[in-house]
Amino acid sequence: MVGRIGTAGMLVFALAACAGGGGGPATPSSAAAAAQPSPATSQKPMGDEVQRLVKAMSREEKVGQLFMPVVYGTAADTVSGENRARFGAQTPAKVVAKYHLGGVILFPANVKSTAQVVKLANGLQDASKRVPLLIGTDQENGLVSRMSALMTDLPSADRIGATGDTEFSRAVARATGDELKALGVNLDFAPVADVNLNPRNPVIGRRAFGDDPAKVAKMVSAAVKGFGDAGVASTAKHFPGHGDTATDSHTGLPVIKHTRAQWEKLDAPPFKAAIDAGVDAVMSAHIVMPKLDDSGDPATLSKPILTGLLRDKLGFKGVISTDALNMGGVRKKYGDGEVAVRAVLAGADLLLMPADFPKAYNAVLGAVKSGRITEARLDASVTRLLTLRKNRGFLTEAPRASAEQAAKVLRSAKHRKLAARAAG
């Protein structure tokens, strides 16, 4: 995804990522233990805690849980004209509180130092009163690496794929997850599950593990398990498969003419492998596959694809995230409010980076009030989002990151040695 974000005008971010409680409970990482809930918290009986929380939320809170926008500033209390203009609230913390946000996605403009990101993450968590925030980022390693200023320079997917070593894929994902968790980030929009079928592909390319569906599936499965080892939620992207296109969905709307049989053979295997491995989330693609849905709508807005294929055919029960809703590929036919509503109706749970946040939020809220989006449909998404938190161990108490611990984990000798393996 490409986010075009303004700071006193317009700050352009580079390529972005491009849900899930399919995974089991998180396995705590000793390296990032300071970012885990306390043992007492993790031992609390959950019972029907998810449903209790859903029932306790107002309609406005539930709608807020569906959204993950960008906020502006390097601290939770940073006063920004960008926040005022886009959200009607001065600081990131006030944005979170005003809209009862389910999550926030971090970009390089939010990053200055390890201690600063830790403080930002903790401050954002403090602002979320009902349930802990999903704090996400795009850390694929390689081309799309939002935290590259702070984290180990780990190998990109194509370099990992070239080794043919699934344990290496798992180890790199584990290291990535450990470093993210140490910073206070609990959701990574990785791994890329696309098969790079088109050498002219301008948006996937080296971000994919390769061009062989079976080999990519094995690498994706291993990466999902590695993120799980670290206790960080992972996201397979971009469903139903963005690998065979020569159009960039950040600016245009790609059309992929795979038949259903071709999709099952070429595109589906890595996503099925990710689901089988317990991936927490799956991200949609802003692509048209007319043989899978002849409406002309991108997959992000397609019920036959998100619900029919991903939920019903592949059996995915976790969080479905949209790719960034500010991208050109999803904004061709509908306004920014209608896009958000249609994404929910298609099956999406997490609405990422709407171009006009108030318009998107109010459109979804209005659709719920009118009955176009039923209360049951809304509750289903909120339940999945809360279940992801439960599976990762932070449903009732937010993990706290530690700057001291993060300094030990980030760019550790162990992780630098791992990075050198792909170069050797």
Beta-sheet pairing, 187-188 with 134-137: parallel
Q: Kindly name the residue from 138, 323, 336, 349 that is annotated as catalytic.
A: 323
Question: Is residue 280 flagged as an active site residue?
Answer: no
Question: Is residue 238 flagged as an active site residue?
Answer: no
Residues linked to residue 44 through DSSP beta bridges, in sequence order: none
Q: Kindly name the residue from 100, 250, 286, 415 that is annotated as catalytic.
A: 250
238: tokens are 């971009």
Active-site amino acid positions: 250, 323
